[in-house]
Amino acid sequence: MSHAVLSLLKENRHPMRIDLIGVAGSGMSGLALLLLGLGHKVSGSDKATTLETDRLQKLGLQFFHGHTDKEVEDCDMVIYSSAIKPGNVAYEAAFKQGIPLVRRAEALAAVMANKKGVVVCGTHGKTTTSALTAHVLRQGGLKPSHYVGAEIPILGSNAHWDAEGELFVAEGDESDGTLVNFHPQHAIVLNIEPEHLDFYNGIEAIKAVFRQVLSQTPGLWVYCAEDPVASEVCSGSQGVSYGWSRDHDFSANIIEMKPDHTDFEVYQKGDLLGTATLGIPGRHNVSNALAAIALATRCGVAFEAIQRALKSFRGAKRRFEIRHAGERFAVVDDYGHHPSEIAATLATAKGLSTKRIVCLFQPHRFSRTQLLKKEFGASFGDVDELFVTDVYPASEKPLPGVSGETILEEVRAQNSRTKTGSTPTMLIARDKVGNALRPGDLLITLGAGNVHEVGRCIARDLPVLEKLCSTLEANGGGVARLYEPMNRHTTWLIGGPAQYWIEPYNETAFAEVVRYLRSASIPIRVIGRGSNLLVKDGGIRGAVIHPKGDFENVTVNGNEITAGAGARLKKIASSARNAGLGGFEWMEGIPGNLGGAIRMNAGAMGSETFDQIVSVRFIDTDGTIKEKPLADITHHYRSVPEFEERYIVSAVLRGSPAPQAEIDTKLAASHQKRRTTQPVGASAGCTFKNPEVCGAGKLIDDLGLKGRNVGKAIVSDVHGNFIVNQGGAKAREVLDLVAQLKDIAQEQRGVQLEMEVKVIGEDHPLPL
């Protein structure tokens, strides 16, 4: 029955009612465009709406959100994608009603039968080459129809039916043997390599499919002579060869390769046709362009038209697509997921980058990962830092022992043999890749799954990072990074990533960074050593500033000490001791910096920070630097409202001359008290403010709550007001434990505990 309905589609005698199951995919959406162009009444379904389904609906598609038996009612034909299997509700409804069920490739071949087809086939490079070929023929005035497996901006859409032109350029898929359905006029064979070995039983079976297609192709067989298997299969009088040698029918010599184009010479039978500029980079893309040049020339397109077409070509989506190109960073995304594609794409990246290449690779399908693991292992030689995700399964079920780690093992083995290459890492999250970037890096995301979303997110945040880097550089220096893990910067060793992490080295750089962030409406947090801080697991949206450099300085002048916001309290106490100044002994052992101590009026042993403050220097909300004396600063127990929105840069503190022995005795007493009464493990200091009735630690001890835990967060056995991270604790565990302690204190003693530790950040990770 399907043969009869396909005959109707080939002849295109009258409009039919056709439904496409899985219409949102790039291949199926292109087919829908063609069928609508031919005048058929088309419906389709998918799990989610996309920009493509929205566009198709405007052109006449009846769209069903989710698959349903209703969509196939009164249909003459139902076309299904490779992702749709028996058991699908629409598929089963069509089968029960006797409606012809047709695979996508069969339908495409039937549509092509209305024209003189040009099938572009091969293991990789099909999308770019078919797009190039269609564009060159269009610029040559031949008005071709086309069908390409990706969005092609220069073509306007991934498929188009032109009633006037004779030619139809289509990307042929060899993955499941349906390539044999095509009976084109001409064929372009790019390469033939072991691939889709879950379907084929080795290279001979793959060659047999290509030979059958060529036997059904009466016109030109344009093939890459650099590929030995393509040369073998395409040998014969119909063959038109292309490659790098002048001995081929068409050849090229690359003159110069730039990030956004490539200049090269074109030869026919050794004679120079002229020079051309291809609007995308890469040696492999010049090879793809030669295929289009060869076919177009043999079809009568003038070389001047070919030159214009190549220069204006901008490539397919996800084919070496530049997502960000700044002064310090670049992000490229590519669909490549076969070892040869990966090697070619990375070679192009290597030719464009003078510094490091950071690669994020997402393996596609378990079967490919297993069968080509050694080839994958040899594909990443041009990478300086490699991250690998787990396998994107597509429609496959997992295979035992096959994962992203399979690729990593092979890369490590290859690197150990050659003693070169990157140290590959299994990806945990997007943040790890973004945090690894350093000025000058080119990040490339590779894979046929959803890995491009990571690159898109990083590219979105890089313009701000670029501006931060340039601001710091112009004002005395500093460091800026993406997605800095906050568990590196809190004494609790807990916290998700900061979207932007900034370390200014001086006041001017700090102030200019604040001005920029304010103008860009980016939230700002300033932290020191993170000793009284809990950062939530989702991290911090916006910027976190961590003063370094000049901010760590401590100087003594008479009875006064001037210290930067980043100076450790322990360092201030030590400097005071060496200068014979008393009053700072309480700072010994407090794991914090001066900026944080001022902001919360930290204290211990009956003293607090503002007992010694003379004046505070800070950056105001407008980015100007100001200074205020103690008398003008309102401060309370563990609270200084003045500095909630202002950023401390330094302060002057006053001590009193005291005998060295007296200072040493007090320092030793402070150190001994902390060592014997406070836990050694990772904590944020006292969790709760002391209520009026008694100390918070004593209250928790009296309630018998020492040792209570949630996950890896536990109430210390040494001091009840300390919650300790036993290793790998999450902020959520700490907060749940805090909630339990507060509830019990309220219920059993009527005491309302208030957290002394500042809690900041997001509960959930920043969205991609």
Active site residues: 126-127, 171
Show the CA angle centred on residue 424, arms to residues 421 and 430, nearest 5°. Answer: 130
User: What is d(CA 179, CA 288) in angstroms, rounded to the nearest whole number?
Assistant: 20
| Cα-based torsion angle of the residue sequence 359, 380, 205, 5 in order, rounded to the nearest 10 degrees | 10
List Cβ neighbours of 472 (8 Å cut-off, separation of 6 or more).
478, 479, 480, 502, 504, 505, 509, 513
- For tokens 């290859």, the residue is 414
At what angle are helices 51-58 and 26-37 packed, to 10 degrees? 10
**Distance linking the first and last C-alpha atoms of the chain:** 46
Phi, psi of 80 (to 5 degrees): -130, 150
Q: Which residue has tokens 């859409």?
A: 157
Rg (CA), the chain: 34
State the Cα angle at 483 between 481 and 484, rounded to 5°: 70
Displacement of CA 627 from its chain's centroid (Å):
43
18 Cβ contact list (under 8 Å, min separation 6): 35, 40, 41, 42, 43, 75, 76, 77, 78, 79
Q: State the Cα angle at 536 between 530 and 540, rounded to 5°.
A: 80
The β-bridge partners of 21 are 45, 80
Pull the structure tokens for residue 318.
């996800």
Contact 273, 266 (CB under 8 A): yes
Tell me whether strands 321-325 and 385-388 are parallel, antiparallel or unpaired.
unpaired
> Please, are residues 103 and 179 in contact by the beta-carbon 8 Å criterion?
no
Burial of 544 (0-12, 13-18, 19+ CB in 10 A): buried
